[in-house]
Structure 1
Amino acid sequence: MKKVPIIIMLSLIINGFQLIQAQQDLSLTLEEAQSYAIEYNKAIKNAELAVDVAKKRVMETLAAGLPQMDASMNYNNFLGAEIEIKFGEGMPPTRIPFKPTSNLSITVGQLIFSGSYWVGLQTTRIYHDLAKSNYEKSEIEIREQVALAYYSALVSERSVNIIMKNLENINDVYNSTSTMYSVGMAEITDVDQLAVQVSLLENASKSAERQVEMAYNLLRIQLGVSAETNITLTQTLNEILTDVDLLATLSTPLELSKNIDFQMMNKQQLISKKQIDMERMNCLPTITGFYSNTQKVLKPDFDMTPPNLIGLQMNVPIFASGMRKARVDQAKINYETALNNKSLLTDQLMIQEKQLRYNLTTAMEQYESQKENVEVSKRVYDNLNLKYQQGLVSSLDLTTANNNYLQAETNYIMSMMQLLQADLALNKLLNTL
């Protein structure tokens, strides 16, 4: 009977381990990886918290113009002090001691007019919008960074596969050459040259495998997962290229109003303009109303203070030796600076658009060229390999052709990477990621 609880316990442990393992394994397309990062990336979480802070700041500013209620209680002891009062000439003075007093007061205040309050409320709302735009920018940047990390991991894996396939081919040639040498049909120099080539490819494969792990670590950081998480990329570079509409990207016009940096610059300009209004409003009076109710817990013998009090208070700035004017002038200068920054950003975005379109066009041309180059290099290598088996070319010719083919494959992969990067950069500028 004791075996049953043990079996149940082992089952729970195994199921728990499988659950943990499932939580540590991720199989993601590019779009799924971007969505996952937006949900779990630490930088995105901080940007989301910044939006919450800005929202609370709006509530804080709004509450400053709503009724405020305070309560206070005090206790006073005059330590036996007395007052002497003569009620007539020649009469002895009457001593009246000060008794301890205690008051409980409730005060309600209400802001009636304050120009700076309304401007401040409008400004905090713009700050809230700016925080939301910053969150949107963080999303765009995370999408870009995840895509770059995804591409890098795929390129690294593709490089490993190419090197391993190349190593397998060279190993076959090396083994057959060694056999031919053993029967006197090949030179020792051929064997040595191929052995060097095998060694170089083995070292290259090890280096490429380390690059793969580095690429996956970068992707883990962007996804916001632990170093132990196993990630499987379910899309290939060719599949991603098939999904990308390069011609549509090139034909999409730049609308500055949709660019996130331009949107944020507009909000910065609005804030600078509101700062001018804020400094001007500080020259206007502030009016507040209040009501107070005081209850005497310990009353003195003579109490003529009424319990209820209502009133208005107006504070009027009169003279500040030019300080307020200087602040208004500073705000105007800051606003002019914001206008210049906006104009500068506009010029930069227009120039960047042209450059990114040139980059994408060039990357498309390079990709087609390298794709054709790989096919040619592969045919040359296969042809020389056949001739080498027939003894018509030397091992040096074969290794040279092999190196050329390997370099062509590397250039082809890099052209794919550059093409995807160029498309990504232009889409980011157009805010179409």
Structure 2
Amino acid sequence: MRKRIIIYAVGVLLFGSAQAQETISLTLAEAQNYALEHNRTLKNASLEVRKAEASRWQSLATMLPQVSASIEYNNMFDYSMDLGNFQISMPNSVTYGGTASVALSGAQVVGVQLKDISRKMSQITLEQTEQEVADQVKTIYYSALVLEKTASLLEQNLENLQKLFAFTQKSVDVGMSEQTDADKISVQVASMKTSVNTTRRSLEMAYNSLRLQLGLSVDTELKLSQTIDELMSMDNAVSLLQIDFNFDNNYDYQLLQQNVALAKKEVALKKWAYAPSLSAFYQYTKKDYMSDESTMNSTPPNMFGVTLNIPIFSSGSRKKAVQEATFSYEQQLNLFDDTRETLTIQHRQLSYNLKSNYETYETQKKNLEVVQRVFDNVSRKYEQGVASSLDVTNAGSDLISAQSSYVQALLEVVNARIELEQLLNVDDY
């Protein structure tokens, strides 16, 4: 009775756990959109944009009027000032005041422009991160589908080998074949089982990587609702080769443009150190004495002032600061030119990779079809007693090798396609 209770309790726990497990089925587009909403790296990039906007407004506020108010209470504890022939009592007082000020210089204007460039860079980085997350999801999604296809091919091979092993073992039992023939095929069966298990474990790792990109719990059951054949359009992949490379669409190029603009503004900022700065203020003060006696009040109720600060001599520090900023600007220009050349070469290389990988894929696809027919033919001949177990072993090894080459070629086309799409900043083309 006690064992039944324990078994029942364990069953309830397992059933409850299975019921609580969340299941999500996603297409590639749905997985990318889900990642854009829940990916933690992307959330941080979005916060950087908001931080840059807040910093920009802080700089802008320095050029706007600043207003402050104050109240001051003084208690002299009935102190009297002795002036020889007469004494002046110091009554308690309350002082109310307000000050409005504004300061303006060219450096402040340039500072706001610098913050504006930083905000634009944060926005570009956010868009680049979105692209990277979407591409990572696509890569993992494709990889998982390819592993699914690989596992399916291997399981098909395993099924064929198991049939051959069963046939061979029956032949051994009736004395028509040697036991060594069955042993050779049994080794192939065991090796194929190991390959299937290894592929399944790799597939689970791919699913875990995809869960991480989507921001899902490791306990969430994830199903991919599309197959590799549905997504893998070779015509679309090859058509990428016809797209001209536009520098302005590339996020790295956009960021570099902003870096050049930033360096140029830094030069302007250093030059503004030679310019005068202007500040003005207005102050209102009211002082109330807590005494009926007349008291001398030397505090003016209204005050206005203007300050013009003119830099004259800094022992060359301003000049060297301008030179330093100018050198940095020239470095950015050199880097900008190098990057244009690098991106042009990269585009040509990625286009070459895609074309070459596509040709390899087509070759491996035809090779797999031929090797599969050879294996099927050898298997039939072996069952008819025309072929030997060695022929089956060799044909099986050739089939496994052809399948591996086909899958590898397929993955290389996928990776080359995604890399070129990322450089061109196009998707689902």
What fraction of aligned residue pairs are identical, expressed as a percent?
Answer: 36
Identify the residue that residue 109 of structure 1 maps to in structure 2.
101
Structure 1 regions of 5+ residues with no counterpart?
1-15, 87-92
Structure 2 regions of 5+ residues with no counterpart?
1-15
Contact 1:237 1:416 in 2 (8 A): no
Give 1:165 deviation, angstroms.
Answer: 1.3
In the alignment of these two chains, the number of paired residues is 409
Distance 1:110 1:421, change over 3 A: same
Deviant stretches of 4+, over 6 Å: 16-20
Identify the residue that residue 12 of structure 1 maps to in structure 2.
none
Q: Give the TM-score normalised by structure 1.
A: 0.90
Give 1:243 deviation, angstroms.
Answer: 7.3
Correspondent of 2:419 among 421, 425, 429: 425
Contact 1:288 1:312 in 2 (8 A): yes
Give 1:18 deviation, angstroms.
Answer: 11
Identify the residue that residue 378 of structure 2 maps to in structure 1.
384
- Is 1:201–2:192 an aligned residue pair? yes
Contact 1:58 1:124 in 2 (8 A): yes
Give 1:28 deviation, angstroms.
Answer: 1.6
Contact 2:364 2:405 in 1 (8 A): yes
Identify the residue that residue 67 of structure 1 maps to in structure 2.
65
Contact 2:357 2:412 in 1 (8 A): yes
Could you tell me how far apart the structure 1 residues matched to 2:331 and 2:75 are? 61
Alignment of 1:204-353 (within 5 A): 204-242=195-233, 245-298=236-289, 301-353=295-347
Distance 1:391 1:297, change over 3 A: farther
- Name the stretch that deviates more: 173-182 or 73-82: 73-82
Give 1:73 deviation, angstroms.
Answer: 2.6
Correspondent of 2:349 among 329, 348, 355: 355
Alignment of 1:146-165 (within 5 A): 146-165=137-156
Give 1:267 deviation, angstroms.
Answer: 0.5
Distance 1:238 1:71, change over 3 A: same
Contact 1:177 1:190 in 2 (8 A): yes
* 1:40-85 C-alpha deviation (Å, 9 max, x unpaired): 1111111111111111122211111111111223334456654222
Contact 1:37 1:223 in 2 (8 A): yes
Contact 1:155 1:413 in 2 (8 A): yes
Give 1:245 deviation, angstroms.
Answer: 0.7
Could you tell me how far apart the structure 2 residues matched to 1:323 and 1:120 are? 20
Correspondent of 2:50 among 40, 49, 52: 52
- Is 1:409–2:403 an aligned residue pair? yes
* 1:299-342 C-alpha deviation (Å, 9 max, x unpaired): 68221222221221222222211111111111101100110110
- Name the stretch that deviates more: 364-373 or 234-243: 234-243
Give 1:122 deviation, angstroms.
Answer: 1.4
Give 1:195 deviation, angstroms.
Answer: 1.3
Could you tell me how far apart the structure 2 residues matched to 1:195 and 1:271 are? 69
Contact 2:238 2:355 in 1 (8 A): no
Read off the aligned partner of 2:233 and give its amino acid letter.
T
Could you tell me how far apart the structure 2 residues matched to 1:318 and 1:230 are? 72
Give 1:242 deviation, angstroms.
Answer: 2.3
Contact 1:109 1:290 in 2 (8 A): yes
Identify the residue that residue 10 of structure 2 maps to in structure 1.
none
Could you tell me how far apart the structure 1 residues matched to 2:128 and 2:118 are? 15
Distance 1:395 1:18, change over 3 A: closer
Give 1:101 deviation, angstroms.
Answer: 3.5
- Name the stretch that deviates more: 344-353 or 308-317: 308-317
Could you tell me how far apart the structure 1 residues matched to 2:285 and 2:174 are? 117
Identify the residue that residue 190 of structure 1 maps to in structure 2.
181
Identify the residue that residue 170 of structure 2 maps to in structure 1.
179
Could you tell me how far apart the structure 2 residues matched to 1:290 and 1:352 are? 58
Could you tell me how far apart the structure 2 residues matched to 1:48 and 1:64 are? 26
Identify the residue that residue 5 of structure 1 maps to in structure 2.
none
Local SS of the residue matching 2:274: coil
Identify the residue that residue 84 of structure 1 maps to in structure 2.
82
Contact 2:238 2:354 in 1 (8 A): no
Give 1:136 deviation, angstroms.
Answer: 1.0
- Name the stretch that deviates more: 100-109 or 357-366: 100-109
Could you tell me how far apart the structure 1 residues matched to 2:341 and 2:275 are? 40
Local SS of the residue matching 1:245: helix
Could you tell me how far apart the structure 2 residues matched to 1:202 and 1:297 are? 97
Give 1:152 deviation, angstroms.
Answer: 1.2
Contact 1:68 1:109 in 2 (8 A): yes
Contact 1:357 1:426 in 2 (8 A): yes
Give 1:94 deviation, angstroms.
Answer: 2.2
Identify the residue that residue 170 of structure 1 maps to in structure 2.
161
Identify the residue that residue 364 of structure 2 maps to in structure 1.
370
Q: Give the TM-score normalised by structure 2.
A: 0.91
* 1:261-288 C-alpha deviation (Å, 9 max, x unpaired): 1111001100100001111112211112
Local SS of the residue matching 1:304: coil
Could you tell me how far apart the structure 2 residues matched to 1:116 and 1:18 are? 64
* 1:369-424 C-alpha deviation (Å, 9 max, x unpaired): 00001111111101100111011222121022112112211211111111111111
Read off the aligned partner of 1:43 and give its amino acid letter.
T
Could you tell me how far apart the structure 2 residues matched to 1:26 and 1:121 are? 46
Could you tell me how far apart the structure 2 residues matched to 1:392 and 1:98 are? 127
